[in-house]
Structures are given as structure tokens and as C-alpha cells.
């Protein structure tokens, strides 16, 4: 029997490769456009995806570790992240079925309980759901990193504009310094070098347009929804109610995402129009609050996707009351992990 287990190095390598694939796919297929500015932007983004702040991928790793062996076979997870080939995975499945068949023959003779094993169809659907979780993790972390880079661009653009104006207005300049310069969250410094690279080669008006197009493309989850609908159609009895709940929560989160963007644009516009900097929020506060609000929604979305996985695991033929209780407790653990990580991220973006 196979004893290899999921480890953090294999997981991190796979997630990073998937992030590279996402950037390369956009570049290869000219999803944005094939202008020189976009090509430069895509190349520089390879540095952005190396920045690990939000740890949603780590929470997903811990989720799979909690489920490994008891609910999800290790070989299935290792196959998803390309550690095991399809051939190796199916060899293990066949060997396991043969071993269980022999054991059940013995159990029959001795009037013992027979061991149940999940079907190929169940395991293949489980692979789909794990891939959906990974797809969400990859897109979310890239999406949030690009949003941070966009915030740095707004901050830099505002600072440059006000510094030019205030060089000839010392009192206003002092007010501006008091309101902004000492209050920059250090986390934004992680994106300064990459931002300088981008602005050296791409003019600001073009850059903002590329940012928004890129964010929109990454946030497009048609793949996830289509895959979910396909496998739910095969398991309607179990999954319909769960999917309805998932979609209702998703719609609510999407609505909030748009509301947060509207609030951000209104506050940034007010800030740009205010040359006195009194009764205006700190520019870093505006950007930090926008990022923090989006991060909270992403963690909510992660818990929402987990609910689909949980419901599907409950359809397993091997499920029993003890396993049901473990799944119930795991939901609490995952929620606590998300809350803890969200608190950590809020501290990183805290105005100091």
C-alpha cells in the first residue's frame, strides 16, 4: 500500500507553477491584447506572484491534510498536484480494490463487517472539487497581489501630484506630510520595486487600464461555475441544495465586491480633489481598507467553496456517524483558520 503523503514543499511548488501558468496563459492567448505594454506587464507580474502575503494556499493545504487518508486518499491528492501520474494513481486504486476484495472474502467467512470502497466516479468527482479549490486559491492570491500593486500605483500617483503642488505651498505640504508620510503600512513596500519596474516602461494611463482588465480576467470564475454545474448535474439528489446555498453566498459576496470598489473610487476621487487634506481619510487608510475588505470576502468565498466539498464527502459510501462529526468539527477549524489569517493580514495593513 502507498505510504506517501502530501507535503508542503510539493504543494507550494504546484501552487506557484499554477500561478505561472495563469500568467503565461493570459500572455499566450492575448486575453488582454498583444501590445508591448501588456507584454511587459505580464513579464513583470512573474515577480508579483512570488510575494506570499495572504496564505489562502496554506489554509487549503491544511484543509487537505486534515482530510487526507481519512476522507480523501493521499494518492488522489498527489495525482491532482502532479506528484503521481494517472497511471500510478489507478495502479494504486486497483491494488487497493484487490486487497479489500480479498479481505472481504475473509470477512464473509468469519461473519465480519464488509469494507466499503468508493467508486471511480466518486473519486473523479472529488478530483474535480479539489481542482476547483486550487483554481480558486491561485486566482485569489494573484488577484489580491495585483490589487495591492494597483493600490501602490494610486498612492504613488497621488503622492507625486501633491508633492509637485506642495513644493510651492509649504504649509499645505506640512499638512500633507502629517496626514500621510508617517502612516504608510510597511507591507506596501513589498510591491515598490515591482511598481518602479512597471512605471519605468508603461505610462500611467495605460497601466491603470491594464490593471483593471487583468483583475477582471482573473476574477472571471466561469471555469469554476461550469465545472460545478456539470458534476452537480450528476449528483442532483445530494448537491442541489448545497449549490443553491453556494450561489446565494457567492452573489452576496460579488455584490459586496462591487460596493467596496465603488466606495474606494469615491474616496480616492474626493482625496484627489482635496488640496487641503483636512477632513479627508489618509490615502493609505483608503487603500488598506479596500484591500482588507476584499481579503475578508475572499476568505468568505473559501469557506463557501469548502461547503461544496463537505457536502460531497458526506455522499461517500464509507461515511459514518463518527466521520460526520469529524467533518462538522473540521468546518469550525477551517473557519477559525480563516479568521486567524484574516486578523494577521489586517495587522500587516494596519496604519502605523
CA 40 to chain centre: 24
171 alpha carbon, distance to own chain's centre: 44
Evaluate whether residue 3 is within a structural domain: no
Predicted pLDDT at 23: 85
Instruction: Report the distance separating Cα 120 and Cα 54, nearest Å.
Output: 35
Instruction: Report which DSSP code applies to 31.
Output: S
Question: pLDDT tens, 246-295?
Answer: 778 888 888 888 888 888 888 887 777 765 555 556 778 888 889 999 89
Range with top average pLDDT, 49-53, 59-63, 339-343 = 59-63
User: 208-219 burial string, b = 16+ CB within 10 Å, else e?
Assistant: eebbebbbeebe
Whether the pLDDT of residue 178 is over 50: the answer is no
Q: What is the pLDDT of residue 182?
A: 46
- Asked if residue 295 belongs to a domain, the reply is yes
What pLDDT is stored for residue 226 in this prediction? 53
Say if 335 falls within a structural domain: yes
**Statement: residue 77 has pLDDT above 80:** yes
pLDDT for res 1: 41
Residue 2 belongs to some domain of the structure: no
Give the pLDDT band (50/70/90) at residue 346.
confident
At a CB cut-off of 8 Å and minimum separation 6, what does 316 contact? Answer: 71, 118, 122
Q: What's the chain's average pLDDT?
A: 80
Band (pLDDT 50/70/90 cuts) for residue 91 is very high
Domain for residue 1, yes or no?
no
The per-residue pLDDT for 161 is 66
Model confidence pLDDT, tens digit, residues 293-326: 989 888 988 988 888 888 889 888 888 888 899 9
Using DSSP, state whether 59 is helix, strand or coil.
Answer: helix
The answer to whether residue 181 sits within a structural domain is yes
- DSSP code string of 63-122: HHHHHBTTTB-HHHHHHHTTSS-HHHHHHHHHHHHHHHHHHHHHHHHTTPPPPP---HHH
The predicted model gives 143-169 an average pLDDT of 76
Residue 78 has pLDDT above 50, yes or no: yes
Residue 60 has pLDDT above 90, yes or no: yes
Q: List the alpha helices (DSSP H) in the chain.
A: 8-28, 36-48, 56-67, 74-80, 86-109, 120-166, 170-180, 192-201, 204-218, 222-233, 236-273, 283-313, 321-348
Q: Which of 297, 280, 313 is nearest to 345 (CA)?
A: 297
Residue 77's domain comprises: 8-348
Residue 25: how many other CB atoms lie within 10 Å: 11
Domain count, the chain: 1
This prediction's pTM: 0.85
pLDDT exceeds cutoff 60 at 101? yes
Residue with C-alpha cell 482530510? 67
Residue 176: inside a domain, yes or no? yes
pLDDT at residue 16, as a whole number:
94
Q: Sign of dihedral through CA atoms 149, 131, 9, 328?
A: positive
In a domain, 144, yes or no: yes
Amino acid at each position: 500500500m502507498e505510504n506517501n503523503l502530501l507535503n508542503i514543499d510539493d504543494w507550494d511548488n504546484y501552487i506557484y507553477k499554477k500561478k505561472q501558468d495563469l500568467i503565461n496563459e493570459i500572455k499566450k492567448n492575448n486575453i488582454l491584447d498583444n501590445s508591448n505594454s501588456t507584454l511587459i506587464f505580464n513579464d513583470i507580474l512573474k515577480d508579483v506572484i512570488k510575494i506570499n502575503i495572504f496564505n489562502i494556499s496554506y489554509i487549503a493545504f491544511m484543509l487537505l491534510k486534515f482530510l487526507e487518508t481519512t476522507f480523501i486518499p493521499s494518492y488522489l491528492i498527489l495525482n491532482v498536484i502532479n506528484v503521481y501520474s494517472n497511471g500510478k494513481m489507478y495502479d494504486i486504486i486497483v491494488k487497493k480494490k484487490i486487497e479489500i476484495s480479498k479481505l472481504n472474502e475473509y470477512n464473509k467467512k468469519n461473519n465480519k463487517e464488509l469494507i466499503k470502497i468508493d467508486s471511480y466516479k466518486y473519486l473523479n468527482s472529488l478530483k474535480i472539487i479539489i481542482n476547483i479549490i486550487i483554481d480558486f486559491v491561485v486566482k485569489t492570491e494573484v488577484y489580491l497581489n495585483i490589487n495591492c500593486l494597483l493600490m501602490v500605483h494610486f498612492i504613488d500617483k497621488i503622492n507625486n501630484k501633491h508633492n509637485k503642488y506642495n513644493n510651492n505651498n509649504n504649509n499645505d505640504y506640512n499638512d500633507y506630510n502629517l496626514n500621510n508620510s508617517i502612516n504608510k503600512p510597511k507591507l506596501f513596500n513589498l510591491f515598490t520595486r515591482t511598481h518602479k519596474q512597471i512605471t519605468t516602461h508603461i505610462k500611467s494611463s495605460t497601466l491603470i487600464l491594464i490593471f483593471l482588465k487583468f483583475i477582471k480576467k482573473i476574477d472571471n470564475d466561469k471555469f469554476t461555475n461550469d465545472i460545478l454545474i456539470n458534476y452537480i448535474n450528476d449528483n442532483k439528489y445530494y448537491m442541489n441544495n448545497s449549490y443553491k446555498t453556494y450561489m446565494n453566498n457567492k452573489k452576496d459576496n460579488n455584490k459586496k465586491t462591487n460596493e467596496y470598489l465603488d466606495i474606494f473610487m469615491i474616496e480616492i476621487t474626493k482625496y484627489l480633489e482635496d488640496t487641503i487634506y483636512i477632513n479627508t481619510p489618509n490615502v493609505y487608510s483608503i487603500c488598506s481598507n479596500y484591500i482588507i475588505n476584499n481579503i475578508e470576502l475572499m476568505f468568505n468565498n473559501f469557506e463557501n467553496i469548502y461547503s461544496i466539498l463537505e457536502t460531497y464527502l458526506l455522499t461517500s459510501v464509507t461515511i459514518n456517524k463518527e466521520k460526520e462529526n469529524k467533518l462538522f468539527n473540521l468546518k469550525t477549524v477551517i473557519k477559525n483558520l480563516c479568521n486567524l489569517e484574516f486578523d494577521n493580514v489586517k495587522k500587516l495593513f494596519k496604519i502605523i
